[in-house]
Structure 1
């Protein structure tokens, strides 16, 4: 059986050595702020929309920078992979849970046990590039 692949976007917001993560209603693991692009929507436009909907933060669209694309098993979806395009961008506003977001947390490199597989791989990547001191 061939695995299905979902495309998603994620905002990498690192402050004070911690990565912003969110947990959606009914889920037991943390994800990165973001989501799936709508048909015909660019990855950057999807990122801006999703972060505004989930956290009330307005990203500076002209300053979105790709960081890494992570491929991992989709949490809670057997036979499905997620291809998560991770970006950095300055944002305006204080992040606060909205829409389907039940909780947000600032996670460090040792918090992988609380996260979906793609976030675990992202934490490892951030460690490998020394990103924890960036803000």
Structure 2
């Protein structure tokens, strides 16, 4: 099981997604915990590293946990994505290993990882993603 934290940032019915250098698939911003980190610590660090913005810690809110086959791993390797919403300060910019940021909608679900597809479906069903 791969355990990851993700930021769900929606605007005008679209969700912020990222594409790493050398990859074709888009992923929700976030990543794995470092030793001793809480979910909130991980979210703040990963978003600062990937998008060069500061998450507002007091605005972090749980948004669900999703599991699916891990992209690029042997069959049976699952990823568990614990998702949070949060406000931020700064200007979103691709940083670190991120080559591109994109605002995707449900019609783009074929461009994202399996676990992100589940999240896209959930957000679409609840009227948050067009």
Q: Same fold per TM (> 0.5)?
A: yes
1:29 aligns with 2:25: yes
**Residue in 2 that maps onto 1:55:** 51
CA distance in 1, matches of 2:57, 2:69: 29
1:73 aligns with 2:93: no
Determine helix, strand or coil for the equivalent of 1:110: helix
Determine helix, strand or coil for the equivalent of 1:118: helix
1:106 aligns with 2:103: yes
2:79 equivalent among 69, 82, 85: 82
Determine helix, strand or coil for the equivalent of 1:41: coil
* Deviating more after overlay: 74-83 vs 30-39: 74-83
Instruction: Specify every segment of 5 or more residues in structure 2 that has no aligned partner in the other structure, as ranges.
Output: none
Q: Between Structure 1 and Structure 2, how many residues are aligned? A: 129
Hey, which bits of structure 1, 4+ residues long, moved more than 3 A?
A: none
1:103 positional shift = 0.9
**Residue in 1 that maps onto 2:93:** 96
RMSD: 1.1
How high is the TM-score relative to the length of structure 2? 0.95
Determine helix, strand or coil for the equivalent of 1:111: helix
1:48 positional shift = 0.5
1:118 aligns with 2:115: yes
